[in-house]
Amino acid sequence: MEGFKQYQGKKVFISLKNHRVYSGVIKEVLDQKNGLVFISIIDKFGNNVTFATGELISIQEEKE
């Protein structure tokens, strides 16, 4: 979980198992303490998007 915390507040590009891709800023990394970790982002369109880390294929920090 600590690995995902390093991205909090940073602009990232994310690819998920359901073939969706997102670009945006990570708002929150929430550890449910039961094995589930959720990431919430504000995508490039200003939408809130939340997904479980188990759905991640890749996450990359975008340099400005």
6-18 pLDDT, tens digit per residue, is 999 999 999 999 9
pTM, 2 dp: 0.88
Classify burial at 41, counting beta carbons within 10 Å of its beta carbon; exposed 0-12, middle 13-18, buried 19 or more: buried
Answer whether 4's CB lies under 8 Å from 53's CB: yes
Q: What is the mean pLDDT of the chain?
A: 94
Answer whether 41's CB lies under 8 Å from 24's CB: yes
Domains observed in the chain: 2-61 (2.30.30.100)
**What does the alpha-carbon distance between residue 51 and residue 19 come to, in Å, rounded to a whole number?**
13
pLDDT at residue 43 greater than cutoff 80: yes
**What does the alpha-carbon distance between residue 37 and residue 30 come to, in Å, rounded to a whole number?**
6
CB atoms within 10 A of CB 16: 17
